[in-house]
Amino acid sequence: MTENVTKKFLYVNRKAPYGTIYALESLEVVLIGAAFEQDVSVAFIDDGVYQLKKDQSTDGIGMKNFSPTYNALGDYEVTQIYVDKESLDERGLTADDLMNLVYEDEDDDYAEKSSISIVNRDELAKLMEQQDVVLSF
Amino acid sequence: MTLHTVNKSPFDRNSLESCLRLARPGHSVLLFEDGIYGALKGTRFEQLVTEAVKSNSIYVLLPDLEARGMRADKVIDGIKTVDYAGFVNLAAENTRVQAWL
Amino acid sequence: MKFGILVNEGPYQHQSSDSAYMFTKAALENGHEIYRVFFYHDGVNNGTRLTVPPQDDRHIVNRWTELGKEHNLDLVVCIAAAQRRGLLDENEAKRQGKDANNIAEGFRISGLGQLIEAGIQSDRLVVFGD
Protein backbone atom coordinates (compact mmCIF):
# COMPACT_ATOMS: atom_id res chain seq x y z
CA MET A 1 0.00 0.00 0.00
CA THR A 2 1.23 3.48 -0.78
CA GLU A 3 1.25 5.72 2.26
CA ASN A 4 2.96 8.93 1.32
CA VAL A 5 0.80 10.24 -1.54
CA THR A 6 -2.62 11.68 -0.82
CA LYS A 7 -4.83 12.33 -3.78
CA LYS A 8 -8.35 13.60 -4.12
CA PHE A 9 -10.56 10.76 -5.34
CA LEU A 10 -14.09 11.29 -6.56
CA TYR A 11 -16.41 8.38 -7.23
CA VAL A 12 -19.21 9.37 -9.58
CA ASN A 13 -22.35 7.24 -9.49
CA ARG A 14 -24.87 7.81 -12.25
CA LYS A 15 -26.69 4.49 -12.36
CA ALA A 16 -29.68 3.09 -10.46
CA PRO A 17 -29.27 0.02 -8.24
CA TYR A 18 -30.33 -3.60 -9.00
CA GLY A 19 -31.03 -3.14 -12.75
CA THR A 20 -27.29 -3.47 -13.28
CA ILE A 21 -24.43 -4.34 -10.96
CA TYR A 22 -22.59 -1.01 -11.31
CA ALA A 23 -23.99 0.55 -8.12
CA LEU A 24 -23.05 -2.44 -5.96
CA GLU A 25 -19.58 -2.89 -7.42
CA SER A 26 -18.94 0.85 -7.24
CA LEU A 27 -19.73 0.78 -3.52
CA GLU A 28 -17.24 -2.07 -3.13
CA VAL A 29 -14.54 0.11 -4.69
CA VAL A 30 -15.36 2.99 -2.35
CA LEU A 31 -15.12 0.72 0.70
CA ILE A 32 -11.82 -0.84 -0.38
CA GLY A 33 -10.48 2.57 -1.40
CA ALA A 34 -11.21 3.94 2.08
CA ALA A 35 -8.32 1.86 3.46
CA PHE A 36 -5.87 3.87 1.36
CA GLU A 37 -6.42 7.05 3.35
CA GLN A 38 -6.97 9.26 0.35
CA ASP A 39 -9.22 12.31 0.31
CA VAL A 40 -12.44 10.65 -0.83
CA SER A 41 -15.69 12.16 -2.09
CA VAL A 42 -18.65 10.34 -3.57
CA ALA A 43 -21.14 12.00 -5.93
CA PHE A 44 -24.59 10.79 -6.90
CA ILE A 45 -25.90 12.25 -10.14
CA ASP A 46 -28.72 11.35 -12.55
CA ASP A 47 -30.13 7.86 -11.81
CA GLY A 48 -27.32 7.45 -9.28
CA VAL A 49 -29.44 9.34 -6.75
CA TYR A 50 -31.78 6.32 -6.65
CA GLN A 51 -28.98 4.37 -4.95
CA LEU A 52 -29.59 6.42 -1.80
CA LYS A 53 -33.40 6.00 -1.77
CA LYS A 54 -34.52 4.87 1.67
CA ASP A 55 -36.84 1.89 2.28
CA GLN A 56 -35.26 -0.41 -0.30
CA SER A 57 -36.63 -3.92 0.10
CA THR A 58 -35.42 -6.63 -2.24
CA ASP A 59 -37.22 -9.64 -0.78
CA GLY A 60 -39.33 -9.98 -3.89
CA ILE A 61 -36.51 -9.96 -6.44
CA GLY A 62 -34.17 -12.50 -4.91
CA MET A 63 -31.26 -10.06 -4.76
CA LYS A 64 -29.33 -8.87 -1.76
CA ASN A 65 -30.40 -5.47 -0.44
CA PHE A 66 -27.04 -3.72 -0.28
CA SER A 67 -28.42 -0.31 0.67
CA PRO A 68 -27.59 -0.74 4.40
CA THR A 69 -23.93 -0.83 3.37
CA TYR A 70 -24.08 2.89 2.53
CA ASN A 71 -24.59 3.44 6.29
CA ALA A 72 -21.13 1.97 6.87
CA LEU A 73 -19.44 4.68 4.79
CA GLY A 74 -19.23 6.99 7.81
CA ASP A 75 -17.35 4.32 9.79
CA TYR A 76 -14.91 4.06 6.89
CA GLU A 77 -14.40 7.82 7.11
CA VAL A 78 -16.10 8.40 3.80
CA THR A 79 -18.04 11.44 4.93
CA GLN A 80 -18.20 13.67 1.87
CA ILE A 81 -21.24 12.52 -0.05
CA TYR A 82 -22.66 14.88 -2.65
CA VAL A 83 -26.09 14.56 -4.23
CA ASP A 84 -26.99 16.57 -7.30
CA LYS A 85 -30.05 18.70 -6.55
CA GLU A 86 -31.17 18.90 -10.18
CA SER A 87 -31.16 15.12 -10.44
CA LEU A 88 -33.33 14.88 -7.32
CA ASP A 89 -35.71 17.58 -8.59
CA GLU A 90 -36.09 15.94 -12.00
CA ARG A 91 -37.07 12.70 -10.30
CA GLY A 92 -39.52 14.27 -7.86
CA LEU A 93 -37.29 13.42 -4.91
CA THR A 94 -36.18 15.47 -1.92
CA ALA A 95 -33.57 14.95 0.80
CA ASP A 96 -36.30 13.27 2.89
CA ASP A 97 -36.49 10.42 0.38
CA LEU A 98 -32.84 9.54 0.96
CA MET A 99 -31.21 7.38 3.59
CA ASN A 100 -29.87 9.34 6.52
CA LEU A 101 -26.13 8.79 6.18
CA VAL A 102 -24.14 10.07 9.13
CA TYR A 103 -20.68 10.06 10.64
CA GLU A 104 -19.23 10.87 14.03
CA ASP A 105 -17.11 14.00 13.92
CA GLU A 106 -14.09 13.27 16.07
CA ASP A 107 -13.11 16.96 16.00
CA ASP A 108 -16.47 17.89 17.50
CA ASP A 109 -16.83 15.53 20.47
CA TYR A 110 -18.02 12.73 18.18
CA ALA A 111 -21.20 14.58 17.34
CA GLU A 112 -23.28 12.75 14.75
CA LYS A 113 -23.38 14.70 11.50
CA SER A 114 -24.92 14.14 8.11
CA SER A 115 -22.52 12.98 5.41
CA ILE A 116 -24.86 14.10 2.64
CA SER A 117 -24.67 17.51 1.00
CA ILE A 118 -27.25 18.40 -1.61
CA VAL A 119 -25.43 20.52 -4.15
CA ASN A 120 -26.32 22.62 -7.17
CA ARG A 121 -24.59 22.36 -10.53
CA ASP A 122 -21.98 25.02 -9.79
CA GLU A 123 -20.97 23.39 -6.52
CA LEU A 124 -20.81 20.00 -8.19
CA ALA A 125 -18.80 21.27 -11.16
CA LYS A 126 -16.38 22.95 -8.77
CA LEU A 127 -16.04 19.77 -6.71
CA MET A 128 -15.25 17.74 -9.83
CA GLU A 129 -12.63 20.23 -10.89
CA GLN A 130 -10.74 19.85 -7.62
CA GLN A 131 -10.13 16.12 -8.06
CA ASP A 132 -6.99 14.23 -8.95
CA VAL A 133 -8.80 11.03 -9.87
CA VAL A 134 -12.39 10.66 -11.04
CA LEU A 135 -13.73 7.11 -11.08
CA SER A 136 -17.03 6.85 -12.93
CA PHE A 137 -19.47 4.00 -12.60
CA MET B 1 -8.59 21.51 -16.88
CA THR B 2 -10.66 18.41 -17.45
CA LEU B 3 -11.09 16.14 -20.44
CA HIS B 4 -14.63 14.76 -20.34
CA THR B 5 -15.32 11.65 -22.41
CA VAL B 6 -18.79 10.72 -23.64
CA ASN B 7 -19.33 7.32 -25.26
CA LYS B 8 -23.13 7.20 -25.36
CA SER B 9 -25.55 8.24 -28.07
CA PRO B 10 -27.51 11.22 -26.75
CA PHE B 11 -30.65 9.46 -28.01
CA ASP B 12 -29.96 6.52 -25.70
CA ARG B 13 -28.66 8.09 -22.48
CA ASN B 14 -28.30 11.52 -20.92
CA SER B 15 -24.50 11.29 -20.58
CA LEU B 16 -23.86 14.09 -23.07
CA GLU B 17 -26.45 16.39 -21.50
CA SER B 18 -25.14 15.76 -17.98
CA CYS B 19 -21.58 16.22 -19.13
CA LEU B 20 -22.34 19.55 -20.80
CA ARG B 21 -24.36 20.69 -17.78
CA LEU B 22 -21.45 20.04 -15.41
CA ALA B 23 -18.41 20.79 -17.58
CA ARG B 24 -16.85 24.15 -16.76
CA PRO B 25 -16.14 26.69 -19.50
CA GLY B 26 -12.80 25.90 -21.10
CA HIS B 27 -13.01 22.17 -20.46
CA SER B 28 -12.59 19.72 -23.31
CA VAL B 29 -15.12 17.08 -24.31
CA LEU B 30 -14.30 14.04 -26.45
CA LEU B 31 -17.15 12.19 -28.15
CA PHE B 32 -16.28 8.58 -29.02
CA GLU B 33 -17.90 5.17 -29.52
CA ASP B 34 -21.68 5.82 -29.78
CA GLY B 35 -20.99 9.29 -28.38
CA ILE B 36 -20.10 10.42 -31.91
CA TYR B 37 -23.81 10.71 -32.76
CA GLY B 38 -23.86 13.81 -30.57
CA ALA B 39 -21.34 15.49 -32.88
CA LEU B 40 -23.51 15.38 -35.99
CA LYS B 41 -25.45 18.11 -37.77
CA GLY B 42 -29.18 17.81 -38.14
CA THR B 43 -30.02 16.00 -34.90
CA ARG B 44 -32.21 17.36 -32.13
CA PHE B 45 -29.02 17.78 -30.07
CA GLU B 46 -27.34 20.03 -32.63
CA GLN B 47 -28.40 23.23 -30.89
CA LEU B 48 -27.16 22.03 -27.48
CA VAL B 49 -23.80 21.02 -28.90
CA THR B 50 -23.46 24.16 -31.05
CA GLU B 51 -23.99 26.20 -27.88
CA ALA B 52 -21.38 24.11 -26.05
CA VAL B 53 -18.79 24.66 -28.79
CA LYS B 54 -18.78 28.36 -27.82
CA SER B 55 -17.44 27.65 -24.32
CA ASN B 56 -15.82 24.22 -24.59
CA SER B 57 -13.38 22.52 -26.95
CA ILE B 58 -15.27 19.59 -28.40
CA TYR B 59 -13.58 16.72 -30.18
CA VAL B 60 -14.86 13.63 -31.96
CA LEU B 61 -12.89 10.42 -32.48
CA LEU B 62 -12.60 10.04 -36.26
CA PRO B 63 -12.21 6.21 -36.33
CA ASP B 64 -15.52 5.87 -34.44
CA LEU B 65 -17.17 8.39 -36.75
CA GLU B 66 -16.03 6.59 -39.89
CA ALA B 67 -16.89 3.15 -38.49
CA ARG B 68 -20.49 4.34 -38.23
CA GLY B 69 -20.68 5.55 -41.81
CA MET B 70 -20.29 9.22 -40.96
CA ARG B 71 -17.76 11.66 -42.34
CA ALA B 72 -16.07 14.72 -40.94
CA ASP B 73 -18.22 17.00 -43.15
CA LYS B 74 -21.29 15.83 -41.19
CA VAL B 75 -19.80 17.15 -37.97
CA ILE B 76 -21.05 20.35 -36.35
CA ASP B 77 -18.83 23.36 -37.11
CA GLY B 78 -16.18 23.96 -34.48
CA ILE B 79 -15.85 20.31 -33.43
CA LYS B 80 -12.38 18.98 -34.10
CA THR B 81 -11.60 15.42 -35.18
CA VAL B 82 -8.86 13.40 -33.49
CA ASP B 83 -7.45 9.89 -33.81
CA TYR B 84 -6.42 7.66 -30.88
CA ALA B 85 -3.07 9.42 -30.61
CA GLY B 86 -5.02 12.68 -30.37
CA PHE B 87 -7.18 11.15 -27.63
CA VAL B 88 -4.00 10.23 -25.73
CA ASN B 89 -2.65 13.76 -26.17
CA LEU B 90 -5.88 15.26 -24.84
CA ALA B 91 -5.75 12.95 -21.81
CA ALA B 92 -2.15 13.97 -21.17
CA GLU B 93 -2.69 17.72 -21.71
CA ASN B 94 -5.59 17.92 -19.26
CA THR B 95 -5.25 17.53 -15.51
CA ARG B 96 -7.83 14.74 -15.26
CA VAL B 97 -10.08 12.61 -17.41
CA GLN B 98 -13.70 12.21 -16.40
CA ALA B 99 -15.77 9.55 -18.14
CA TRP B 100 -19.52 10.04 -18.53
CA LEU B 101 -20.49 6.39 -18.80
CA MET C 1 3.37 10.32 -18.65
CA LYS C 2 2.02 7.38 -16.69
CA PHE C 3 -1.50 6.21 -17.53
CA GLY C 4 -3.74 3.88 -15.56
CA ILE C 5 -6.51 2.21 -17.56
CA LEU C 6 -9.79 0.87 -16.19
CA VAL C 7 -11.82 -1.50 -18.41
CA ASN C 8 -15.36 -2.05 -17.15
CA GLU C 9 -16.97 -4.11 -19.90
CA GLY C 10 -16.47 -7.54 -21.38
CA PRO C 11 -15.04 -8.25 -24.81
CA TYR C 12 -17.29 -8.27 -27.92
CA GLN C 13 -20.42 -7.20 -25.99
CA HIS C 14 -19.29 -3.59 -25.75
CA GLN C 15 -16.70 -1.48 -27.54
CA SER C 16 -15.03 -0.32 -24.34
CA SER C 17 -12.43 -3.09 -24.35
CA ASP C 18 -11.52 -2.26 -27.97
CA SER C 19 -11.34 1.46 -27.18
CA ALA C 20 -9.17 0.80 -24.13
CA TYR C 21 -6.86 -1.38 -26.24
CA MET C 22 -6.55 1.24 -29.00
CA PHE C 23 -5.91 3.96 -26.41
CA THR C 24 -3.31 1.87 -24.59
CA LYS C 25 -1.54 1.01 -27.84
CA ALA C 26 -1.54 4.65 -28.98
CA ALA C 27 -0.23 5.79 -25.60
CA LEU C 28 2.65 3.29 -25.76
CA GLU C 29 3.45 4.24 -29.36
CA ASN C 30 3.65 7.87 -28.31
CA GLY C 31 6.18 7.23 -25.59
CA HIS C 32 3.86 7.07 -22.60
CA GLU C 33 3.94 4.48 -19.88
CA ILE C 34 1.01 2.29 -18.82
CA TYR C 35 1.15 1.77 -15.07
CA ARG C 36 -1.57 -0.86 -15.05
CA VAL C 37 -4.68 -2.01 -16.92
CA PHE C 38 -7.35 -2.97 -14.41
CA PHE C 39 -10.36 -5.05 -15.43
CA TYR C 40 -13.55 -4.62 -13.40
CA HIS C 41 -17.27 -5.45 -13.68
CA ASP C 42 -17.77 -7.65 -16.78
CA GLY C 43 -14.37 -6.36 -17.89
CA VAL C 44 -12.88 -9.36 -16.09
CA ASN C 45 -14.06 -11.48 -19.04
CA ASN C 46 -11.26 -9.93 -21.09
CA GLY C 47 -9.00 -12.28 -19.17
CA THR C 48 -10.41 -15.71 -19.97
CA ARG C 49 -8.28 -17.95 -22.16
CA LEU C 50 -11.32 -20.03 -23.22
CA THR C 51 -12.47 -17.33 -25.64
CA VAL C 52 -12.82 -18.63 -29.21
CA PRO C 53 -13.95 -15.87 -31.58
CA PRO C 54 -14.61 -16.55 -35.29
CA GLN C 55 -11.39 -16.71 -37.31
CA ASP C 56 -12.08 -13.51 -39.23
CA ASP C 57 -12.63 -11.47 -36.05
CA ARG C 58 -10.11 -9.88 -33.73
CA HIS C 59 -9.07 -11.99 -30.74
CA ILE C 60 -9.53 -9.48 -27.94
CA VAL C 61 -8.06 -11.66 -25.19
CA ASN C 62 -4.97 -12.67 -27.16
CA ARG C 63 -4.52 -9.09 -28.26
CA TRP C 64 -4.22 -7.97 -24.62
CA THR C 65 -1.87 -10.87 -23.86
CA GLU C 66 0.36 -9.96 -26.81
CA LEU C 67 0.42 -6.23 -26.06
CA GLY C 68 1.16 -7.15 -22.46
CA LYS C 69 4.06 -9.35 -23.46
CA GLU C 70 5.48 -6.77 -25.82
CA HIS C 71 5.37 -3.93 -23.30
CA ASN C 72 5.51 -5.82 -20.02
CA LEU C 73 2.04 -4.55 -19.05
CA ASP C 74 0.47 -5.24 -15.68
CA LEU C 75 -2.94 -6.68 -16.65
CA VAL C 76 -4.95 -7.09 -13.45
CA VAL C 77 -8.35 -8.72 -13.11
CA CYS C 78 -10.40 -7.82 -10.02
CA ILE C 79 -10.75 -10.87 -7.80
CA ALA C 80 -14.21 -10.09 -6.41
CA ALA C 81 -15.67 -9.34 -9.84
CA ALA C 82 -13.87 -12.38 -11.30
CA GLN C 83 -15.20 -14.80 -8.70
CA ARG C 84 -18.77 -13.69 -9.38
CA ARG C 85 -18.31 -14.29 -13.07
CA GLY C 86 -16.41 -17.57 -13.02
CA LEU C 87 -12.91 -16.41 -13.83
CA LEU C 88 -10.23 -18.23 -11.82
CA ASP C 89 -6.49 -18.67 -11.82
CA GLU C 90 -4.81 -21.84 -10.59
CA ASN C 91 -4.55 -20.74 -6.96
CA GLU C 92 -8.13 -19.52 -6.78
CA ALA C 93 -9.44 -22.69 -8.43
CA LYS C 94 -7.64 -24.75 -5.81
CA ARG C 95 -8.80 -22.53 -2.97
CA GLN C 96 -12.43 -22.64 -4.11
CA GLY C 97 -12.36 -26.36 -4.85
CA LYS C 98 -13.02 -25.90 -8.57
CA ASP C 99 -11.81 -28.42 -11.15
CA ALA C 100 -10.41 -25.93 -13.65
CA ASN C 101 -9.03 -22.47 -14.11
CA ASN C 102 -9.40 -20.20 -17.11
CA ILE C 103 -7.22 -17.13 -16.76
CA ALA C 104 -5.37 -16.10 -19.91
CA GLU C 105 -1.62 -15.75 -20.16
CA GLY C 106 -0.28 -12.41 -19.01
CA PHE C 107 -3.21 -11.58 -16.74
CA ARG C 108 -3.16 -11.81 -12.97
CA ILE C 109 -5.98 -11.79 -10.44
CA SER C 110 -5.75 -9.39 -7.53
CA GLY C 111 -7.78 -7.15 -5.26
CA LEU C 112 -9.55 -3.85 -5.83
CA GLY C 113 -6.72 -2.14 -3.98
CA GLN C 114 -4.78 -2.48 -7.22
CA LEU C 115 -7.25 -0.11 -8.87
CA ILE C 116 -6.92 2.47 -6.11
CA GLU C 117 -3.15 2.11 -6.29
CA ALA C 118 -3.32 2.71 -10.05
CA GLY C 119 -5.24 5.91 -9.32
CA ILE C 120 -2.59 7.01 -6.85
CA GLN C 121 0.46 6.07 -8.90
CA SER C 122 -0.69 7.07 -12.40
CA ASP C 123 -0.65 10.63 -13.68
CA ARG C 124 -4.02 10.01 -15.37
CA LEU C 125 -6.62 7.32 -14.89
CA VAL C 126 -8.76 6.74 -17.97
CA VAL C 127 -12.03 4.81 -17.59
CA PHE C 128 -13.62 2.80 -20.40
CA GLY C 129 -17.05 1.37 -19.72
CA ASP C 130 -20.79 1.46 -20.24
Here the CATH number for the domain that contains residue C91 is 3.40.1260.10
**Which of C116, C125, C127 shows the shortest C-beta gap to A32?**
C116
pLDDT in tens, B2-49: 999 999 999 999 999 999 999 999 999 999 999 999 999 999 999 999
**Closest to A118 in 3D by CA, of A90, A92, A87:** A87
CB-CB under 8 Å, C130 with B85: no
pLDDT at A5 (0 to 100): 79
Phi and psi torsions of A32, nearest 5°:
-65, -45
Residue C8 contacts A, CB cutoff 8 Å = yes
Task: List the domain range (segments joined by +) for residue B93.
Answer: 2-100
User: Which chain C residue is nearest to residue A27, measuring alpha carbons?
Assistant: C112
Tell me the mean pLDDT in the region A43-69: 98
CATH number at residue B39: 3.40.1260.10
Instruction: Report which residue type is found at A111.
Output: A
- Domains in chain A, CATH or no CATH each: 8-136 (3.40.1260.10)
Per-residue pLDDT of chain C in tens (130 residues, 90 and over written 9): 999 999 999 999 999 999 999 999 999 999 999 999 999 999 999 999 999 999 999 999 999 999 999 999 999 999 999 999 999 999 999 999 999 999 999 999 999 999 999 999 999 999 999 9
**Closest to B15 in 3D by CA, of B42, B34, B41, B40:** B34
Number of domains into which chain C is organized: 1
Name the minimum distance, in Å, from the CA of C13 to any CA of chain A.
15
> Measured on CA atoms in the order A40, A88, B3, B32, is the torsion positive or negative?
positive
CA dihedral C60, C33, B16, A49 (to 10 degrees): 90
Residue window 36-95, chain B: list those with CB within 8 Å of chain C.
63, 83-85, 87-89, 91-92, 94
Tell me the mean pLDDT in the region A62-87: 97
CA distance A63 to A44: 22
Which of chain C's residues have a Cβ under 8 Å away from the Cβ of B5? 126-127
- Residues in chain B, overall count: 101
pLDDT at A4 (0 to 100): 66
Residue B7 contacts C, CB cutoff 8 Å = yes
Number of domains into which chain B is organized: 1
Name the minimum distance, in Å, from the CA of C22 to any CA of chain B.
7
CB-CB under 8 Å, A121 with B21: yes
Task: List the domain range (segments joined by +) for residue C77.
Answer: 2-128
Which of chain B's residues have a Cβ under 8 Å away from the Cβ of C22? 63, 84
